[in-house]
């Protein structure tokens, strides 16, 4: 078969994915093997594949494919998250485009549209994962709103309520006025903003004159002033000691409020006096509670002014005119109106921070609201393993530094607000009667029973269900358990086999949202960790280190890249530049490198196939082992091994064993990027640049059956090692190397022999000599086509006998001879303690040669000096470990020998 010039992924990729699917390689069932389980972090059901997913899922695929080849029962579970707030926002947007307002729909109508949307767009992202080769068990595809899953979430809510962990309460929450829902602390992103600091005067009450003095307060939020209930100062602040207990007047509303003292106030900030607005600030609310102050709410759920709490005070026309004004306009308006009263001293520029909604970007309002919460401190008391298991590495975080972040969060954990004022999600199973009593139960029927148990007689008609749904993460935290039905059908065969899962791969950004909570759920519900290793990826950024965003337009079109470079090249590109836990600077040139690597493999295939002849595939065991024999060289008798195997085969066999051990070690430690680098260099440098060149026959000649069989077998081993990283190209070449029925995808690993250090060393010497001689040729402008005569002066002729034929070919020598003395009128090259004399037709440029040697001499002398200094230090000789001293002695003798060699060479010129 004629092979194309380059590897063509677009033709190959889909073909193999279909075949793997047809053969059902990715589906897993419990059996006697050790399981290797990964649950995919479920992307938003309406999401599309981006670079972050690509990185994340490529890593998981590498781990899963490797486990599969190691003979483990690999199970990788796909699925999607209903992503309550994000999806609802999308559906609302879609409806708006169709001219439908959410407010005009009933809950059921809205959910109808939402499900329709989900069915239409829900699967897209999963289909895209097939394009990058993800070997997921598609039969297990799960969704966080599947019927069983939904019910499990509800059941867990009820259980935790019964445990006293979930409660309902009126608390300060983070309120998103755009999506009109409460958010958890984790969903609030703090951003730096430029704002103004307003210095407002609060006139002192009960003073005879209008100009009886005032309290000056600096605030960034004058729009909340009508909700002020006190002014607070630090009790140690000398400036204000006399004021404590007096009253001031709130501008515009003319409310009398007290001046109180609390340690919380920072005397350094602003004027040292803080206005207290318990309805609109978390800290103010704390102080308000501590000092039993009233709460006066002046902003509604849309972030617009409301006067409901003010009506009792008989507010002025001016106050009433604010009704319905948005908070940001209100800020300007109220500031102006206070200024008109001559009560603003000054306005300063101020750099502050505000919380914004992770989803809508809206500035968050702290708002007093009746919501459902989880008592996290109480929960942690019940499940202390959630922290200890991570700290003692039962659950190992990679990189380990993320442990600190985790610890800090858990030790300062706050209650989790789990209710959301949305419709898309699991509806809270709480039922209210007319008196406002609440019954937590799966159904209204059960709620009636619960009420009866409390002696309250109700019918279903008397109850209405809570309108709110649960935070998305309140369902995601069950993911590793419920994808195996561990909640809905406890102790089933699957959960007992696959759980705890093996490895979790996810972004650092959701360590609190998701990772921490899965660990908590694992211990609370299963009394077990949910996974043993957590591999955190960094964020994918662009070349300049900027976050990828729609606005910047710097997020590449992933599917376009796959089309252009091929899935393997994309996988390579993203993995080669991805140190564990660090952000990845994505650069398309890495994809080019991946594509070039594909071609390198492809061309190696073409070369090897050129050597194929009828009956070429010969079993390896047809060839006998090495033996030891005496050998005659130049009249001297040497004991040297007679290799029936050519040196190239021996060397590469050992090189493979060495590398494979190294790669396994790297992968055990999740150093995927480094492992790929080792594989890349093993294939490109050792296999292609050295091994294939060493065995390459002259044009028109063929290689021996032995060489051919070994080469095919080496190539297969390389493909095997590379397969988890680049599944398509490796499978394709595996099948092109020779006719076969099996697939690389499920080929099992074989035991790796220990490498023979002496052969590896000899290989290194050979490479070093070849490079040095080529360098010398290059520097002396000997053309590649011109042959040389090579004279070798060495104490170890045996070292060179086995590699002579390779050396001749690689440095284009006509002859090789061994010599005891310096050969005059030649280029001299020193490697280790051996000398090489290049005899050539070419006129020699002795000055350049001399300079080269002098430079080397200087280097060696400097080196020797540093070694001698060490050895001359008495304390070093006394204290250092013997093997370290031994090593330094060897360095010394080596350097001395080399200096001698160079000096002799210089004398010869």
Q: Of 362-401, which residues contact RNA (CB under 7 A)?
A: 401
Q: Which stretch binds RNA (CB under 7 A): 110-118, 193-201, 721-729, 773-781?
A: 773-781
755 Rama sector, left if φ>0, alpha if ψ -120 to 50, beta otherwise: beta
Among 271, 443, 465, 599, binds RNA (CB under 7 A): 599
Contact at 8 Å (CB) between 448 and 396? no
* 757: number of Cβ within 10 Å: 10
Q: What are the backbone dihedrals phi and psi of residue 176, each rounded to the nearest 5 degrees, phi first?
A: -95, 105
Q: Which stretch binds RNA (CB under 7 A): 110-118, 207-215, 767-775, 790-798?
A: 767-775
- Give the integer Cα–Cα distance in Å for 146 and 152: 10
Strand partners, 204: 248
Residues 456-515 within binding reach of RNA (CB under 7 A): 508-509, 512
Q: Kindly state the greatest CA–CA separation across the chain.
A: 126
Contact at 8 Å (CB) between 463 and 184? no
Asked if 577 is part of the footprint of RNA (rule: CB under 7 A), the reply reads yes
When the beta carbons of 758 and 861 are compared against RNA, the nearer one is 861
Among 412, 491, 624, 637, binds RNA (CB under 7 A): 412
| CA distances to 461, 761, 826, 828, 847 from 908, in Å | 110, 30, 9, 9, 13
Shortest reach from residue 486's CB to RNA, in Å: 28
Shortest reach from residue 813's CB to RNA, in Å: 13
Shortest reach from residue 578's CB to RNA, in Å: 8
When the beta carbons of 456 and 585 are compared against RNA, the nearer one is 585
- Give the integer Cα–Cα distance in Å for 532 and 524: 17
CB-side neighbour CA atoms (13 Å) of 84: 26
Asked if 633 is part of the footprint of RNA (rule: CB under 7 A), the reply reads no
Contact at 8 Å (CB) between 87 and 424? yes
Strand partners, 396: 533
380, exposed or middle or buried, with CB in 10 Å at 0-12, 13-18, 19+? middle
When the beta carbons of 577 and 792 are compared against RNA, the nearer one is 577
Asked if 848 is part of the footprint of RNA (rule: CB under 7 A), the reply reads no
When the beta carbons of 436 and 560 are compared against RNA, the nearer one is 560
Shortest reach from residue 248's CB to RNA, in Å: 27
E-only strand ranges, 501-578: 501-507, 531-537, 540-541
Shortest reach from residue 440's CB to RNA, in Å: 28
Contact at 8 Å (CB) between 351 and 194? yes
- Give the integer Cα–Cα distance in Å for 587 and 545: 10
Q: What are the backbone dihedrals phi and psi of residue 802, each rounded to the nearest 5 degrees, phi first?
A: -70, -25
Asked if 604 is part of the footprint of RNA (rule: CB under 7 A), the reply reads yes
- Give the integer Cα–Cα distance in Å for 738 and 744: 12
Residues 303-362 within binding reach of RNA (CB under 7 A): 353
Q: Which stretch binds RNA (CB under 7 A): 56-64, 440-448, 592-600, 647-655?
A: 592-600
Among 151, 171, 382, 600, binds RNA (CB under 7 A): 600
Asked if 809 is part of the footprint of RNA (rule: CB under 7 A), the reply reads no
- Give the integer Cα–Cα distance in Å for 278 and 230: 9
Residues 3-22 within binding reach of RNA (CB under 7 A): 5-6
When the beta carbons of 196 and 677 are compared against RNA, the nearer one is 677
Strand partners, 189: 356
Residues 242-271 within binding reach of RNA (CB under 7 A): none
| CA distances to 629, 761, 836 from 638, in Å | 8, 20, 21
- Give the integer Cα–Cα distance in Å for 240 and 233: 7
Among 610, 633, 757, 848, binds RNA (CB under 7 A): 610
When the beta carbons of 430 and 576 are compared against RNA, the nearer one is 576
Shortest reach from residue 582's CB to RNA, in Å: 5
Shortest reach from residue 549's CB to RNA, in Å: 12
Residues 132-161 within binding reach of RNA (CB under 7 A): none
- Give the integer Cα–Cα distance in Å for 239 and 434: 53
Q: Which stretch binds RNA (CB under 7 A): 97-105, 318-326, 407-415, 721-729?
A: 407-415
- Which residues contact residue 290 at a Cβ distance below 8 angstroms, ignoring those fewer than 6 apart? 262
Q: At what angle do helices 705-722 and 588-610 cross, to 10 degrees?
A: 160
- Give the integer Cα–Cα distance in Å for 57 and 133: 9
Asked if 758 is part of the footprint of RNA (rule: CB under 7 A), the reply reads no
- From residue 634 to residue 673, the character string flagging contacts with RNA as x (rule: CB under 7 A) and all else as - is ---------------------------------------x
Shortest reach from residue 267's CB to RNA, in Å: 15
Q: Which stretch binds RNA (CB under 7 A): 36-44, 367-375, 571-579, 744-752?
A: 571-579
Query: Could you check whether the bond before residue 413 is cis, i.e. omega within 30 degrees of 0?
Result: no
Residues 680-739 within binding reach of RNA (CB under 7 A): 681, 684-685, 688-689, 692-693, 696, 699
When the beta carbons of 251 and 566 are compared against RNA, the nearer one is 566
Q: Which stretch binds RNA (CB under 7 A): 126-134, 468-476, 595-603, 786-794?
A: 595-603
Nearest CA to 885 among 898, 874, 896, 895? 874
When the beta carbons of 262 and 693 are compared against RNA, the nearer one is 693
Asked if 805 is part of the footprint of RNA (rule: CB under 7 A), the reply reads no
When the beta carbons of 135 and 174 are compared against RNA, the nearer one is 174
Among 281, 284, 375, 674, binds RNA (CB under 7 A): 674
When the beta carbons of 160 and 584 are compared against RNA, the nearer one is 584
Among 677, 747, 789, 842, binds RNA (CB under 7 A): 677
Residues 785-804 within binding reach of RNA (CB under 7 A): 785
Q: What is the DSSP string of 314-354?
A: ---HHHHTTTT-BHHHHHHHHHHHHHHTT-EEEEEEEEEEE
- Which residues contact residue 107 at a Cβ distance below 8 angstroms, ignoring those fewer than 6 apart? 423, 467
184, two tokens? 């958890």
- From residue 523 to residue 552, the character string flagging contacts with RNA as x (rule: CB under 7 A) and all else as - is ----------------------x-------
Contact at 8 Å (CB) between 249 and 338? no
Q: Alpha helices of 454-587 — where are they, by DSSP H?
A: 473-476, 479-482, 493-498, 517-521, 558-565, 567-576
Shortest reach from residue 571's CB to RNA, in Å: 15
Asked if 771 is part of the footprint of RNA (rule: CB under 7 A), the reply reads yes
Length of the chain: 909
When the beta carbons of 353 and 459 are compared against RNA, the nearer one is 353
- From residue 415 to residue 454, the character string flagging contacts with RNA as x (rule: CB under 7 A) and all else as - is ----------------------------------------
Q: Which stretch binds RNA (CB under 7 A): 48-56, 180-188, 488-496, 750-758?
A: 180-188
Asked if 770 is part of the footprint of RNA (rule: CB under 7 A), the reply reads yes
What is the total count of residues that contact RNA (CB under 7 A)?
A: 77
Among 88, 186, 415, 468, binds RNA (CB under 7 A): 186
- Give the integer Cα–Cα distance in Å for 595 and 728: 12
When the beta carbons of 183 and 250 are compared against RNA, the nearer one is 183
Shortest reach from residue 395's CB to RNA, in Å: 18
Q: Which stretch binds RNA (CB under 7 A): 43-51, 423-431, 766-774, 786-794?
A: 766-774
Residues 851-890 within binding reach of RNA (CB under 7 A): 858-859, 861-863, 866, 870, 873, 875-876, 879-881, 884, 887, 890
């Amino acid at each position: 078969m004629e092979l194309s010039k380059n590897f063509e992924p677009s033709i190959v990729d889909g073909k193999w994915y279909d075949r793997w699917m047809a053969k059902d390689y990715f589906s897993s069932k419990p059996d006697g093997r050790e399981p290797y389980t990964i649950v995919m972090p479920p992307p938003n059901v309406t999401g599309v594949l981006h670079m972050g997913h690509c990185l994340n899922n490529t890593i998981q695929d590498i781990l899963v494919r490797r486990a599969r080849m190691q003979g483990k029962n690999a199970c990788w579970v796909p699925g999607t998250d209903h992503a309550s707030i994000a999806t609802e926002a999308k559906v609302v947007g879609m409806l708006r485009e169709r001219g439908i307002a959410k407010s005009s729909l009933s809950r059921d109508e809205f959910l109808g549209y939402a499900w329709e949307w989900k069915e239409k767009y829900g699967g897209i992202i999963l289909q895209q994962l097939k394009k990058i080769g993800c070997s997921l068990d598609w039969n297990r595809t799960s969704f966080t709103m599947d019927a069983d899953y939904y019910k499990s979430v509800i059941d867990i809510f009820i259980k935790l309520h019964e445990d006293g962990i979930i409660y309902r309460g009126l608390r300060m929450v983070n309120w998103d006025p755009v999506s009109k829902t409460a958010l958890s602390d984790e969903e609030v992103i703090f951003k730096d903003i430029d704002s103004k600091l307003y210095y407002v005067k609060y006139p002192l009450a009960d003073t005879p004159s209008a100009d009886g003095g005032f309290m000056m307060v600096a605030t960034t939020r004058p729009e909340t002033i009508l909700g002020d209930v006190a002014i607070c100062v630090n009790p140690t602040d000398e400036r204000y000691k006399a004021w404590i207990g007096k009253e001031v007047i709130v501008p515009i509303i003319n409310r009398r409020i007290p001046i109180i003292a609390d340690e919380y106030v920072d005397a350094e900030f602003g004027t040292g006096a803080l206005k207290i607005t318990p309805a609109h600030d978390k800290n103010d609310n704390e102080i308000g509670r501590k000092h039993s102050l009233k709460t006066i709410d002046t902003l509604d759920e849309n972030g617009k002014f409301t006067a409901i709490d003010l009506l009792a005070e008989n507010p002025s026309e001016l106050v009433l005119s604010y009704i319905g004004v948005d908070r940001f306009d209100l800020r300007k308006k109220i500031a102006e109106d206070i200024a008109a009263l001559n009560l603003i001293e000054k306005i300063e520029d101020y750099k502050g921070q505000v919380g914004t909604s992770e989803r809508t970007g809206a500035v968050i309002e702290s708002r007093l609201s009746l919501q459902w919460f989880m008592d996290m401190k109480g929960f942690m008391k019940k499940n202390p393993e959630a922290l200890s298991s991570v700290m003692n590495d039962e659950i190992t975080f990679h990189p380990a530094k993320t442990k600190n972040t985790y610890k800090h969060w858990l030790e300062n954990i706050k209650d989790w607000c789990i209710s959301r004022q949305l419709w898309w999600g699991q509806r809270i199973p709480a039922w209210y009667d007319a008196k406002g009593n609440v019954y937590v139960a799966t159904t209204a029927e059960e709620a009636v029973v619960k009420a009866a148990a409390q002696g309250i007689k109700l019918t279903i008609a008397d109850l209405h269900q809570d309108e709110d749904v649960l935070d998305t993460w309140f369902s995601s935290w069950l993911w590793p358990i419920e994808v195996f039905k561990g909640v809905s059908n406890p102790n089933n065969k699957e959960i007992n086999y696959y759980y705890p899962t093996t490895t979790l791969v996810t972004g650092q950004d959701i360590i609190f949202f998701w990772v921490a909570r899965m660990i908590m759920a694992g211990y609370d519900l299963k009394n077990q960790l949910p996974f043993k290793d957590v591999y955190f990826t960094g964020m994918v950024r662009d070349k300049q280190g900027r976050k990828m965003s729609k606005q910047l337009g710097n997020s590449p079109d992933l599917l376009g890249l796959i089309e252009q470079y091929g899935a393997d090249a994309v996988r390579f590109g993203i993995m080669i530049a991805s140190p564990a836990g660090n952000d990845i600077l994505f650069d398309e040139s890495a994809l080019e490198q991946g594509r070039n690597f594909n071609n390198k493999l492809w061309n190696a295939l073409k070369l090897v196939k050129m050597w194929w002849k009828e009956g070429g595939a010969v079993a390896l065991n047809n060839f006998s082992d090495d033996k030891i024999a005496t050998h005659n060289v130049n009249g001297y008798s040497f004991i040297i091994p007679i290799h029936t195997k050519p040196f190239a085969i021996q060397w590469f066999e050992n090189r493979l064993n060495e590398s494979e051990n190294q790669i396994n070690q790297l992968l055990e430690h999740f150093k995927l990027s480094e492992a790929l680098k080792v594989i890349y260099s093993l294939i490109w440098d050792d296999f292609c640049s050295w091994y294939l060149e060493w065995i390459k026959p002259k044009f028109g000649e063929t290689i021996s059956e032995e060489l051919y069989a070994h080469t095919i077998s080496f190539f297969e081993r390389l493909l095997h090692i590379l397969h988890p990283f680049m599944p398509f190209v490796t499978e394709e070449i595996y099948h092109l190397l020779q006719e076969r029925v099996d697939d690389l995808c499920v080929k099992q690993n074989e035991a790796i022999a220990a490498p023979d250090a002496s052969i590896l060393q000899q290989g290194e010497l050979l490479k070093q000599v070849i490079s040095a001689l080529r360098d010398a040729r290059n520097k002396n402008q000997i053309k590649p086509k011109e042959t040389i005569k090579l004279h070798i002066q060495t104490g170890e002729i045996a070292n060179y006998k086995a590699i002579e034929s390779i050396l001749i070919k690689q440095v284009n020598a006509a002859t090789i001879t061994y010599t005891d003395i310096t050969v005059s009128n030649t280029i001299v090259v020193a490697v280790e303690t051996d000398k090489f004399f290049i005899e050539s037709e070419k006129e020699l440029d002795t000055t350049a040669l001399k300079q080269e040697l002098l430079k080397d001499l200087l280097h060696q002398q400097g080196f020797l000096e540093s070694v001698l200094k060490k050895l001359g230090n008495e304390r070093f000789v006394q204290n250092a470990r013997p093997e370290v001293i031994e090593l330094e002695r060897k360095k010394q003798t080596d350097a001395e020998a080399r200096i001698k060699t160079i000096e002799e060479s210089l004398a010869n010129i």
